[in-house]
Amino acid sequence: MTEAVTAVATRPALLARGIHRSYSMAHETIPVLEGLSLELTRGESVSVVGASGSGKTTMIHVLGLLDQPDTGSLAIDGEDVLAASGARRAVLRNRHLGFVFQFYHLVNELTALENVALPARIGGGWLPSAGDRSAWRDRSRDLLAKVGLSGRERHRPNQLSGGERQRVAIARALMNEPAVLFCDEPTGNLDPRTSRGVQDLLFEIGPESRAMLLVTHDESLARRCGRVLRLTEGKLVPADPETGGGL
Amino acid sequence: MYRFFLSFRFLRHHWLMTLIGSFFVGASLVILVVVMSVMDGFQSKLKETIAGSSADLTLTPRWPFDPVELSKAIVELVPGVTAAAPYYETITLARRAGRIDATREKMHYAAVFGIDPQREARINRFSEYLSLLDRRTGRRRTPSVRDVADPFRVADELERATGTIGVVLGVGLADDVGVEINRKIRIAIAEPAKDAAGGGSSKDNDNLSFKYLQVLVVGLYESGNSEVDRSCIFMDHAAFRGLFTEDVARSSVRCRLADPDGIDRAKAALTTVLDKLVIRSVPPGVVVEPWQQQIRPESWKDKNRSLVQAIESEKSMILVISFLIVVAGTSSIFAAQWLLVSDKIREIGILRALGADFNGVVSIFVLNGFLMGVLGSAGGTFGGLLVVRHIDVVHGWISWMAGRPVFDPTIYLFDRIPTLVDYAEVSRYAFAALACTLVASAIPAMRAGLMKPAEALHRD
């Protein structure tokens, strides 16, 4: 039992090798990722910086199974995912990956509590038991409390501020206890004060027992991660070669 | 589970779109239900009118027979036959009695029917049709004869004593001939020509001679079927037999069936008891050859085949047209769903990112459209039945708005718009509308399912 736990802890949460992704535009092929490799382990936080258009979002989409690479290998929690079917990839996204987007991307028709519970609902199949539903509700409430939104459970996204929406999005991303948390410019749409609050929250609960991959332009935010990488010419390289990671 | 959950939420949140999508499905279904119910009502009324002056089944044997005896035998021996009546028919020419202006008043073609009024009342609506229709209201007035049970009775004692025959005239024929009740008409009676010596009938049946007979109009008949009403003269079967020989008249037996649609069963049953029918009905001393032991059954549908076919094909055409309206109605769901999918591209991306697969996303939007269809179909079915139930009120409103009666009882001769609701058919319409909504919502749903999550997430 102890060995199994150790194996999970030491197994990379995400392992990408030689990922290529290019886009065809008219008669031209634009390479975006050219042999990108990355290894993330649980408890680790990694930030990726890079110029606009360098392919950071494409990288998150490919590593987050929202897009298919042209070539390369990718394993999530030890499972090779590139050969997996669409349905299996959806299951993997649901159970092993969490996303926090720049523009929150909450479902406007749902309350904060329902937004947070949505990943559990999606993973719950056609007819989840009453016990399951009750457990989701409790966990969603706990997560909302954790991100400081107790009492706002029944509020809809349009009744929340930008910072509050992002907190709901963070809670939602953590609902199914993912192995990897992808954050794509999580503070890019917030004012500095609110941004600091969200950053603190992210680092407080984000990498608890999971890997966190954070894409940002904000250097102060990037520096808070254990490793800082730069995406340049389609590859990830240490942002400061001398320190092997830090800026 | 999240599929239902999100479908309901999208429906509720976009209630106006839901309402519009459902409304058009519902409205088209209202049209379909109302049109088909009125059509069925008209058809049923028309069939009732045709069958009301005819009978479910007319049987014409080839052997010499006594129609009264055969009527009794058929009721006793043929299962499914509840009543039978003798029936004689021939053709004649009729005109008003007395001095006439030959340049203006012509002879009119007429069919003469010899019936037994008591038995006839059991096989069709003869007694009812002795009461004329009120052109203004479409309802029937009081009977035109003194005694419905004995409609051919001549009331005037002197006329009766001189052997005057009482007849009931079709109301249209009475108009054409220009007579009223208690007026006389002349009818031409064909009979085999006498031989050269003026003795017995000629053996050559091709030669007929005509004589005129004055008969008294004692009542009028109105079935609502103008073809019948403009050509019929009814008289008692005994009087008929006294006037027309077998050479110029046809005799049959008309039957009423327990199940008016059980014509084929009755026809089959007839063949099993044919021998007994021959024995029971053949006049004494007459020998029936084997080739004569046949009987020709004709239903009222057989007799009015072209009209029945016209009605059926008209109904089919209207069904197709009305169903096209439903298809057009369900296109509102297609439009609503297409708009919804366009509006929810980011949400589709989010759902995919959170773990929804292709089937999940498709199900959400198919369910959404289907629920709209359920709302529309339920509302449309209920609304359609409600309109049918209160068709006269609705007709009043439409007539008020149009400034003239849309449905004129003087033309259709019905006191109210006839409707007939076939609930099984209505259910089929509702399910067909639902199936259309499924197809209509499946296309936008496929579009949603096929969206690439990465692109959907970043669509402005």
Q: What is the pLDDT of residues B336-345, one digit of tens each?
A: 889 989 988 9
Which H, E and C letters describe A133-150, residue by residue?
Answer: HHHHHHHHHHHHHHCCCC
Q: How far is A241 from chain B (nearest CA, A)?
A: 32
Name the residue among B1, B12, B346 with its Cβ closest to that of A121: B1
pLDDT value at residue B409: 62
For residue A125, what pLDDT band results from cuts at 50, 70 and 90?
low
Residues of chain A contacting residue B347, judged by C-beta atoms under 8 Å apart: 107-108
**Is-contact B109 B230, C-beta < 8 A?**
no
B359/A contact by beta carbon, under 8 A: yes
Q: Do B355 and A172 touch (CB under 8 A)?
A: no
Query: How close A113 gets to chain B, by Cα (Å)?
Result: 14
| B164 secondary structure, DSSP code | P
B453/A123 Cβ within 8 A? no
pLDDT at A51: 85
For B348, the closest chain A residue by CA position comes to A107
CA atoms of B358 and B381, how far apart (whole Å): 34
Structure tokens at B159: 């006329």
Q: Which of A60, A154, A42 is nearest to A101 (CA)?
A: A60
pLDDT in tens, A159-207: 998 888 988 998 999 888 888 999 988 877 777 777 787 778 778 776 6
Residue B451: count other Cβ atoms within 10 Å of its Cβ.
Answer: 20
- CB contact (8 A) between residue A66 and residue B454: yes
The gap from C-alpha B447 to its chain's centroid, in whole angstroms, comes to: 48
Closest chain B C-alpha to A107 CA, distance in angstroms: 6
- Residue A126's pLDDT is what? 64
Cβ of B352 and A99 within 8 Å?
A: no
Q: How far apart are CA A83 and CA B3, in angstroms?
A: 27
Whether residue A128 and residue B1 make contact (CB cut-off 8 A), yes or no, is yes
The label of the residue with tokens 């080839």 reads: B62
Partner B, chain A 42-61, Cβ-Cβ below 8 Å: 57-58, 61
Which of A99, A109, A176 has the CB atom closest to B10's CB atom? A109
Q: In angstroms, what separates the C-alpha of A2 from chain B's closest C-alpha?
A: 30
- ipTM score assigned to the predicted complex: 0.89
Q: What is the pLDDT of residue B186?
A: 92
Is B1 in contact with A124 (Cβ distance < 8 A)? yes
Query: Inter-chain contact A67–B356, Cβ cutoff 8 Å?
Result: no
B12 to chain A: closest CA residue = A109
pLDDT of residue B114: 94
Across the interface, whether the CB atoms of A127 and B1 are under 8 A apart is answered yes
Average pLDDT over residues A208-232: 86
**Three-state SS at A180:** strand
pLDDT averaged over every residue in chain A: 84
pLDDT at residue A130 greater than cutoff 90: no
Neighboring chain A residues of B357 at a CB cutoff of 8 Å: 86-87, 90-91
Residue A178 CB burial class (10 angstroms; 0-12, 13-18, ≥19): buried
B365 touches chain A (CB under 8 A): no
A166, A217, A226, B136, B392 from A220: Cα distances, Å = 19, 9, 13, 93, 78
Work out whether strand A227-232 and strand A45-49 pair parallel, antiparallel, or are unpaired.
parallel
pLDDT at A246 exceeding the cut of 50: no
Measure CB to CB from residue B354 to each of A86, A94, A109 and give the nearest one: A94
DSSP output for B292-322: G--EEEEEHHHHTHHHHHHHHHHHHHHHHHH
Given CB atoms, is B285 within the 8 Å cutoff of chain A?
A: no
Q: Which of A67, A121, A176 sits opposite B2 (nearest CB)?
A: A121
B100 φ/ψ angles, rounded to the nearest 5 degrees: -130, 160
Residues 6+ apart with CB under 8 A from A72: A16, A17, A18, A19, A20, A35, A36, A82
pLDDT > 90 fraction of chain A, expressed in percent and rounded: 27
Given an 8 Å threshold on Cβ–Cβ distance, is B356 in contact with A90? yes
- Mean pLDDT, range A22-39, rounded to an integer: 87
Q: Name residue B298's beta-bridge partners.
A: B58
On whether any CB of chain B is under 8 Å from the CB of A94, the answer is yes
Separation CA B236–CA B215 (nearest Å): 12
CB contact under 8 Å between A66 and B2, yes or no, is no
A128 has a chain B CB within 8 A of its CB: yes
pLDDT score of A9: 55
Chain A interface mutation, best of B4, B348, B354, highest count of A Cβ atoms under 10 Å:
B354
Where chain B has pLDDT below 50, the residues are: none
Which chain B residue has the Cα nearest residue A126?
A: B1
DSSP code per residue over B95-110: EESSS--TTT---EEE
| Phi, psi torsion values for B385, nearest 5 degrees | -65, -35
CB B204 within 8 A of CB B166: no
What mean pLDDT do residues A32-48 have? Answer: 89
Contacting residues of B for A176, CB less than 8 Å apart: 355
Q: Which residues of A touch B363 (CB under 8 A)?
A: none
